[in-house]
Amino acid sequence: MTADLHRLVYYSRNHVEGTDATLDREIGDILAKSQHNNRRDGITGALLFNAGCFAQVLEGPLGAVEAAFERIQQDERHGDVSLLALERIEARSFPNWAMGFVGASQHDAGRFDAIGSASGFDPARLDGEAIHSLLRDLAVEEEGIRH
């Protein structure tokens, strides 16, 4: 176990406005910057964007994870940022992903929508473990497709 390994799970609302092309560009920008910063800072994780919301798991050293979360909170593209979980962990769930993007397929969208519908898209009513499990399962499926 890494002594300082933590997992942070959050949920936020999309504040990107414009066309689908604008949204695709902004999501691409978020992913590119996250992957660069996360490689530098020893963070792994996965991001889900669907139905106007973001859900993300960040794993790594506590200080690095907290700094990344602070950047997210300051990013105007995210609104109503809600911390769902922050806990010490034994091992990473996303060891190969500096920042994976999951949930883009119709099948995955339906799985995420079920969680969103159950919570009424109220971040305070979502469970960090449910988001973590969903992203982990989607990442495993995605890695299986790639190999």
Q: Note down the domain range covering 30.
A: 5-146
pLDDT of residue 137: 82
Per residue in 15-70, pLDDT (tens digit) is: 888 888 888 888 888 889 989 999 999 999 998 887 678 889 999 999 999 999 99
Quick one: pLDDT band at residue 108, thresholds 50, 70, 90? very low
Alpha-carbon distance of 146 to 141, in angstroms, equals: 9
Q: What is the CATH number of the domain that holds 139?
A: 3.30.70.100
Q: Which long-range contacts (CB under 8 A, 24 or more apart) does 139-146 make?
A: 139/46, 139/93, 139/94, 139/97, 139/100, 139/102, 142/100, 142/102, 143/96
Does the pTM of the predicted model rise above 0.85? no
Domain count, the chain: 1
pLDDT of residue 81: 93
Question: In this structure, are residues 13 and 102 in contact, taking their beta carbons and an 8 Å threshold?
Answer: no
Average pLDDT over every residue of 71-75: 95
pLDDT of residue 41: 96
Q: Is the pLDDT of residue 147 over 60?
A: no
Write down the mean pLDDT value for the chain: 81
